[in-house]
Chain A
Amino acid sequence: MISVSTTRRAHRGMVREWRLHALSIFSLAVAFVCLGSALLVVTNLRAVEERWAHAGRASVYLKEGATQDDVDALRAALTRVPGVNAVHYVSSGEARVEFGQRELDSNSVLAALPVEAFPASIELDVAPDMPDADLADMVGKMKALPSVDDVETYQSWTERLARLVRGGVAASALLAVVVLAAVLAVVGSTMRLALQRRRIEVEVLKLVGATDGFVKKPFVIEGSLQGALGAAGAIALLAVLFLLVRGRLDGELAALIGVEPTFLPWPVALGMVALGALLGATAALASLRKMVAI
């Protein structure tokens, strides 16, 4: 149980050694910013992966010599395929216009490409629950047709994205280990320093009959608070940076990746704070193990 005396001593310790604790919290915040950034990237990559995994679309690119009859026959055939919800023909001219509208402001060279550079296509709206095998079967059959040049299901891109997300998760896990080590080192050093400065306090407590637990509790609370505040500070800093970046790039980024960038979900943010508190308390306990033998 945490008594009034324990919390008061922890509060008194933090107030009297505020510079030391502030420095420690800042160092912890820097460590947690690294972890938070990695988690933020992973969160958004996951969102992109999910978006494209269920993109539900495919593009059937037509050969240059495909006639209107070929196109009509293909459209009619595709409409009857189970799992294909809608079929939409995009001519070379329409593709050129669409691309030009999107890229005109940002890249006039691309916008100036000739119409021939944009193949006509049939855009398919595929049901998200369509099995991969059925989709692959349909793609295989379509590729065999003489009027079809290529079929793009965006599957390979999604797979690359999935690999990227897995890499991001691995990097985050590695960063988490680094952050763990950093938190243990920073809180441990702070506690040892605080202890050195408050040695007389510990000595007095032991001489009047305080148990080891009584002596340690305020330091553990201080360590835990440092960890939690460090993590919370890092999240606050990331949130500010996120808002600044999103404010400038939101439209372009959303158009490029197909999803709105999102900040860390609440459970993840709270989890980081809880992790900080836990690591801080553990580090404090570990560094106090030997000190109370008076």
Chain B
Amino acid sequence: MRAGNARFSREAAQRPILVFEDVFKSYREGTPVLRGMNLVIERGEFVFVTGPSGSGKSTVLRLLYRGETVDDGRILFLGRDVARLREDAIPFLRRNLGIVFQDFKLVPSWSAYENVAVALEVLGLPQRLIRARVGEALERVGLAGRGEDAAGVLSGGEQQRVAIARAIVGEPALILADEPTGNLDPQLGIDVLGLFEEIHENGTTVLFATHDRTLLEVRPRRVVVLDEGKAIDVPNGIATEEFDNSLPH
């Protein structure tokens, strides 16, 4: 991870970026959300995580950024067990992740620039560098020149673009998107998906949780279906016979 004295290791670079090993999680006794979930995601992949409401899509992401802790099992991110991280190491985990939410999670009274810059300010970068990188990030999401606008007055699509700019400005190893198109109309949703694909084309791994089947149909990508607490892998997307065969009947 970015913090600490980690050295470059060829072996580490070849390891999967993310591994879920027998992960169990329940919020109430007797009703587990994840029941021995296993999943491996390689570097540079774009993976949809889908499933019905309550299937555990958001839980998977929350476990990853340590918004929750696993009951059992391991989650290895860049070779380190996220579940066993000490509390004071969690900020350093999150600095290696870019997280985008359905409700944007922007500070409405802050400007678009400030909302993006905060991801670099926590790293203690100099203001000059922050200005340059935030400018680039806003340009990448199509908001060049809108930095001074208060986030609260932007449209839903624009707010989600700001959130995406915030997620990518730190050049994280992995982007987690939790229903990022859930509050947007279908066309805007597809535009936002296009943004994530552009980010992915630059080599960033993307984990995109959605229950919107139209998005899955638009692009033939690897899909992980969460069903009854386990992950069902559909490598070539849902518009295939393979997907239909993978679902439980």
Query: Which A residues fall within an 8 A CB radius of B?
Result: 3-5, 16, 198, 200-201, 203-211, 214, 294
Residue numbers in A under 8 Å from B123 (CB-CB): 209
Question: What does the 1/0 interface line of B22-60 toward A look like (CB < 8 Å)?
Answer: 000000000000000000000000000000000000000
Residue numbers in B under 8 Å from A16 (CB-CB): 109
B105 touches A5 (CB 8 A): no
Per the bound structure, the CA–CA distance linking A211 and B122 in Å amounts to: 8
A208 touches B107 (CB 8 A): no
A209 touches B105 (CB 8 A): no
B67, B88, B109, B118: the one within 8 Å of A208 (CB): B118
A200 touches B107 (CB 8 A): yes
Nearest neighbor of A5 in chain B, beta-carbon distance: B121
* Interface membership of B236, Cβ < 8 A: no
A4, A198, A208, A214: most-surrounded residue (chain B CB, <10 A) = A208
Per the bound structure, the CA–CA distance linking A230 and B121 in Å amounts to: 31
Which 5 A-B pairs rank lowest in CB-CB distance, beginning with the nearest? A209-B95, A209-B94, A208-B119, A210-B122, A5-B121
Per the bound structure, the CA–CA distance linking A131 and B169 in Å amounts to: 80
Residue numbers in A under 8 Å from B112 (CB-CB): none
* B: interface residue count bin: 20 to 34
A210 touches B91 (CB 8 A): yes
Per the bound structure, the CA–CA distance linking A8 and B92 in Å amounts to: 23
How far apart are A291's CB and chain B's nearest CB, in angstroms?
15
B88 touches A211 (CB 8 A): yes
Q: List 20 A-B contacts (CB under 8 A).
A: A3-B121, A3-B124, A16-B109, A198-B107, A200-B107, A201-B107, A204-B105, A204-B107, A205-B122, A206-B94, A207-B65, A207-B105, A208-B119, A208-B166, A209-B91, A209-B93, A209-B94, A210-B91, A211-B88, A211-B91
Residue numbers in A under 8 Å from B170 (CB-CB): 208
- 7 extra A-B contacts, CB within 8 A, seeds A200-B105, A203-B105, A209-B119: A4-B127, A198-B107, A204-B115, A208-B119, A209-B94, A209-B95, A209-B122
Residue numbers in B under 8 Å from A198 (CB-CB): 107
How far apart are B67's CB and chain A's nearest CB, in angstroms?
8
Residue numbers in A under 8 Å from B109 (CB-CB): 16
A208 touches B106 (CB 8 A): no
Per the bound structure, the CA–CA distance linking A220 and B106 in Å amounts to: 23
How far apart are A251's CB and chain B's nearest CB, in angstroms?
57
How far apart are B92's CB and chain A's nearest CB, in angstroms?
7
How far apart are A289's CB and chain B's nearest CB, in angstroms?
14
How far apart are B1's CB and chain A's nearest CB, in angstroms?
10
Per the bound structure, the CA–CA distance linking A89 and B66 in Å amounts to: 92
How far apart are B177's CB and chain A's nearest CB, in angstroms?
13
Per the bound structure, the CA–CA distance linking A198 and B124 in Å amounts to: 22
Per the bound structure, the CA–CA distance linking A16 and B124 in Å amounts to: 24
B91 touches A204 (CB 8 A): no
Residue numbers in B under 8 Å from A214 (CB-CB): 122
How far apart are A12's CB and chain B's nearest CB, in angstroms?
8
Residue numbers in B under 8 Å from A3 (CB-CB): 121, 124
